[in-house]
């Protein structure tokens, strides 16, 4: 599929049910976000079908009228075929045949008179081939929607899982996404048209569908074993960094975390104006480097209704937040729904116990705001930092705010490094800032400034 040629992009229709208690503005925001997810996946959204209901229709999400309206855009029949066997009644068949002939004659007459069918489907080239539902729906609801519309059906979870599948780059991320994807696909497998066939030999007695599901279970178990080995290595790397100061960028997807990561560290991490552009945890040193050294990690973004399988899969990314010395909550201040997005970030981090980690709120993309909006945000979020990742002055001010945060916790103490242990002098410079240095018969006397825990560790290391 060519991203440059819009004509090659599949056309999609969004559909959703506005449930009781959901405000119009929240419903509209959810649909707008779903549209952005579809665009990231490579679909062009051509229409939106929405309906107020007390609950999703058990058969096909929408009511009969809206279902027919949806089918008009895809070229489907607009009804869910009955699974009950039809009674063979010769008289009824004759009546139906006669009715179909009369209907065809009426249609021909309308065409001659220039009268079109008000529910005629869109021209073949402009029909939507994908229906995307802004809810998590059951496999049977998806099947019924496909039968009624003749289009491929994805729910919100399916769209997010597919985006993750396409964007995962590292081995760990690909394993995590593949597990979530297989968990999503397994209950949606369908029996082949000749669904009564049996397998021969090993597994005899299982249908093809049962065998496929068993293969998926086995594959998930295999992937989890590989993931455990990789995550042990990641845990070891984090353990090696346990005494270093760590900063984690957290927030909603596309809030600008990767742009800030690049600006703060000078690294070449991917920056793209799309949802979930970053799925791999990246750790880099704050640039220019400081003493003690500060490490910055970029993490996967959050989103409303993030599938639980993906939250569980990206444990290592969430651990970066849990074990950080400071969290930087990044918010796209120019997005009208940024308050709700911040709530989602708080909720996910609260679930893993990271809500107690010290934090700073960064209201990013402030260059897109007017003077009045900036003043209102500053008044509402006291202590937050308004900035643009594209403005070097703003980035420099953020860097200083980070240094000030850690500086407030630091203390100054004297250390004596015996000449016999001068080979380990580098440990001091890695863990603390050397204020002054003198020499006498006992060794090198250093005045150092650092965090209490780091200085206590140095004292133990160089105790005579």
Q: Residue 102's pLDDT is what? A: 44
Of the listed ranges 138-147, 182-191, 304-313, 419-428, the one predicted with least confidence: 304-313
DSSP annotation of 288 reads S
Cα gap 345→338, rounded to integer Å: 10
**21 φ/ψ sector (left φ>0, alpha ψ -120 to 50, else beta):** left
66: confidence class by pLDDT, cuts 50, 70, 90: very high
The answer, yes or no, to whether residue 402 has pLDDT greater than 60, is yes
User: Given this chain, do its domains 8-80+109-161 and 241-407 carry the same CATH topology?
Assistant: yes
> How large a percentage of the chain has pLDDT more than 90?
35
CATH top class, domain 8-80+109-161: alpha beta
Domain borders along the chain are 8-80+109-161, 168-190+206-240, 241-407, 411-461
The answer, yes or no, to whether residue 312 has pLDDT greater than 80, is no
Full DSSP string of 30-92: HHHHHHHHHHHHTPEEEEEEEEE-SS-BTTTBS-HHHHHHHHHHHT--SSPPP-SPPP--HHH
Question: Which tens digit of pLDDT belongs to each residue from 338-382?
Answer: 998 999 889 888 887 888 899 999 999 999 999 999 999 999 999
Q: Which CATH superfamily is domain 241-407 in?
A: P-loop containing nucleotide triphosphate hydrolases (3.40.50.300)
Question: Which tens digit of pLDDT belongs to each residue from 190-236?
Answer: 654 444 444 544 555 567 878 888 899 999 999 988 888 887 877 77
Alpha helical stretches, state H, 302-424: 308-313, 315-322, 338-351, 371-380, 392-407
| pTM of the predicted structure, to 2 decimals | 0.75
Q: Residue 78's pLDDT is what? A: 86
């Amino acid at each position: 599929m060519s991203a440059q040629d819009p004509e090659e992009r599949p056309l999609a229709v969004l559909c959703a049910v506005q449930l009781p208690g959901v405000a119009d503005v929240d419903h509209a925001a959810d649909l707008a976000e779903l549209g952005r997810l579809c665009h990231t996946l490579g679909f062009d959204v051509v229409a939106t079908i929405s309906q107020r209901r007390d609950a999703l229709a058990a058969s096909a999400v929408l009511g009969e009228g809206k279902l027919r309206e949806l089918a008009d855009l895809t070229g489907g029949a607009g009804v869910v075929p009955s699974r009950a066997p039809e009674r063979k009644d010769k008289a009824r068949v004759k009546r139906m045949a006669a009715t179909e002939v009369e209907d065809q004659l009426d249609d021909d007459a309308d065409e001659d008179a220039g009268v079109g069918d008000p529910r005629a489907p869109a021209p073949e080239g402009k029909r939507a081939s994908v229906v995307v539902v802004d809810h998590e729906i059951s496999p049977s609801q998806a099947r019924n929607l496909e039968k009624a519309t003749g289009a491929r059906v994805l729910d919100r979870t399916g769209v997010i899982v597919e985006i993750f599948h396409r964007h995962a780059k590292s081995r760990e991320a690909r394993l995590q996404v593949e597990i979530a994807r297989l968990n999503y696909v397994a209950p949606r497998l369908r029996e082949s048209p000749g669904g009564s066939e049996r397998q021969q030999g090993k597994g005899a007695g299982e249908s093809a569908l049962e065998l496929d599901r068993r293969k998926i279970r086995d594959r998930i178990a295999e992937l989890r074993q590989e993931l455990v080995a990789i995550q042990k290595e990641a845990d070891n790397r984090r353990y090696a960094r346990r005494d270093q100061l760590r900063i984690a960028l957290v927030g909603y997807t596309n809030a600008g975390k990767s742009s800030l990561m690049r600006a703060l560290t000078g690294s070449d991490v991917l920056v793209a104006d799309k949802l979930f552009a970053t799925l791999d945890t990246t750790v880099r040193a704050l640039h220019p480097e400081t003493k003690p050294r500060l490490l910055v990690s970029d993490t996967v973004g959050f989103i409303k209704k993030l599938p639980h399988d993906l939250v569980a899969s990206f444990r290592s990314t969430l651990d970066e937040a849990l074990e950080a010395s400071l969290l930087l909550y990044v918010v796209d201040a120019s997005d009208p729904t940024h308050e709700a997005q911040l709530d989602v970030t708080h909720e996910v981090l609260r679930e893993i116990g990271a809500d107690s980690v010290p934090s700073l709120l960064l209201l990013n993309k402030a260059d897109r705001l007017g003077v009045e909006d900036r003043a209102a945000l500053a008044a509402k979020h006291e202590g937050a930092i308004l900035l643009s990742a594209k403005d070097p002055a703003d980035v420099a001010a953020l860097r200083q705010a980070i240094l000030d945060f850690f500086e407030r916790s630091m203390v100054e103490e004297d250390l004596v490094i015996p000449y016999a242990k001068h080979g380990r002098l580098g440990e001091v410079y890695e863990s603390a800032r050397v204020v002054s240095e003198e020499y006498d018969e006992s060794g090198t006397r250093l005045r150092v400034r650092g965090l209490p825990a780091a200085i206590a560790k140095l004292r133990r290391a160089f105790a005579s």
